[in-house]
Amino acid sequence: MAVIGMVGVGGYGATILRAAHEAKNVKLTVVHDVSPERAREAAEKTGARVATSYEEMLRDDALQGVILVVPNPLHRKMLEAAVDAGKHVYVEKPIANSVKDGMAMRRYAAAAGRILMVGHNTRRGQTFRTVKQMIDSGELGTVVAMEANFSHAGGLGVPPDAWRYRRETCPAVPLMQLGVHCVDTMNYFAGAPARVSSFMSSKIMKQNDDVTVTLVEYENGVLATLHSHYVVAGTNFVAAYGSEANVYAEWERLDITMREPYGVVPRPFPRNDTQLEEISEFAACIETGVQPETDATAGILALAVVEAAIISHKEKRIVSMEEIMKDA
């Protein structure tokens, strides 16, 4: 059983907190949050104690790992502090705000022999695992294209002083916070991305792009389109198009469209607990030393597409992964 602490228990952090509390191979002993009240509530729910600071948490010699659900700009600094204290790290996606920082985090953890896991949970959904199996088995024929959209209206309620509101602290917010999940899933399906082109606009949020449309070309020739918006009704799906069949996947829905005989075959799926699975894997990696599925390299590759999209929009050109990953 891995002894773990957690920083950031509000918002999505509450979901990760629940998973850490329920994981059978995790002993959650300490929590910390910028809100003392949230930290106290989390401690009451889980039986953990409250650390008054991150530094206090890291001084706990019994602690083997930390879960970080904190603003993107803090990821690198907090990882380095944890590694210096001998801790393994789970960091919620994206790995960082820049590929440069992501690479530095990977090197820092590797040099100390510490696990660095990135919280990309979408690929773990049963429907998305099934799409991967269909692609690999040839059931879809030759896959030629993919399509994804992860959007919601979160930007309509973000206050102007929040870190997500500003380009300086969360550039291209819907792509960085939502679309990056789809990027990781499409990378899981198709392999290495090669080139990226993107258009973005600010429709409602005044200090950040809230609408993004991105085209990704993969090294194997598959073309993918990704919509990610922060000011619209929620949607979340990934689709793959092949010479024999197409497949459309949401969290609890999988529709297969056959070429011959033509027809749509729906398959309902119960939603599995992807957060519990990833936190359980983090604990297992701490105990065994095995690298996690969504390791630093996977996190960097997903972030690289986002960074390329930002550059593409700003400079109005196609951006290659070779350019983004040149220091990898």
Instruction: Please tell me the predicted confidence (pLDDT) of residue 327.
Output: 63
The pLDDT confidence band at residue 156, using thresholds 50, 70 and 90, is very high
> Is residue 299 one of the residues assigned to a domain?
no
Do 183 and 310 sit in the same domain of this protein? Answer: yes
On whether both 20 and 141 belong to a single domain, the answer is no
The answer to whether 296 touches 89, Cβ cutoff 8 Å, is no
Q: How do residues 18-41 score in pLDDT, each as one tens digit?
A: 999 999 999 999 999 999 999 999
Question: Is there a single domain that holds both residue 70 and residue 198?
Answer: no
Number of domains present in the structure of the chain: 2
Q: Percent of the chain, pLDDT > 90?
A: 96
Answer yes or no: do 78 and 107 share one domain: yes
Whether 13 is covered by a domain: the verdict is: yes
Read off the pLDDT of residues 107-117 as tens digits, 9 standing for 90 and up.
999 999 999 99
Amino acid, single-letter form, for residue 131: V
What is the CB-side half-sphere exposure of residue 267 using CA atoms within 13 A? 15
pLDDT for residue 45: 97
pLDDT in tens, 251-304: 999 999 999 888 898 888 889 999 999 999 999 999 999 999 999 999 999 999
Q: Are residues 265 and 136 in the same domain?
A: yes
Position 298 in a domain = no
Residue 172 lies in a domain: yes
Do 232 and 184 share a structural domain? yes
* Weakest-pLDDT range from 79-83, 160-164, 194-198, 228-232: 160-164
pLDDT band (50, 70, 90) for residue 328: low
Residue 88: domain span: 2-120+275-293
Question: From edge to edge, which strands make up the β-sheet containing 245-250?
Answer: 263-268, 253-258, 245-250, 235-242, 143-151, 223-229, 211-218, 193-201, 319-320
Please tell me whether residues 79 and 153 are part of one structural domain: no
Q: Is 51 helix (H, G, I), strand (E, B) or coil?
A: coil
Q: Is residue 166 part of a domain?
A: yes
Closest CA to 286 of 94, 70, 4: 4
If asked whether residues 169 and 32 sit together in one domain, one would say no
Strands 49-50 and 193-201: unpaired
Query: In terms of domains, do 76 and 171 share one?
Result: no
CATH number at residue 244: 3.30.360.10
93, 167: one domain: no
Whole-structure pTM value: 0.96
Residues 112 and 143 both lie in one domain = no
Q: Looking at the structure, tell me whether residues 232 and 318 fall in a common domain.
A: yes
pLDDT class of 221 with cuts at 50, 70, 90: very high
Pairing status of strand 263-268 against strand 319-320: unpaired
Place of tokens 């400079």: 315
CA-to-CA distance for 249 and 264, rounded, in angstroms?
13
Residues near 241 by beta carbon (within 8 Å), at least 6 away in sequence: 140, 143, 144, 145, 146, 147
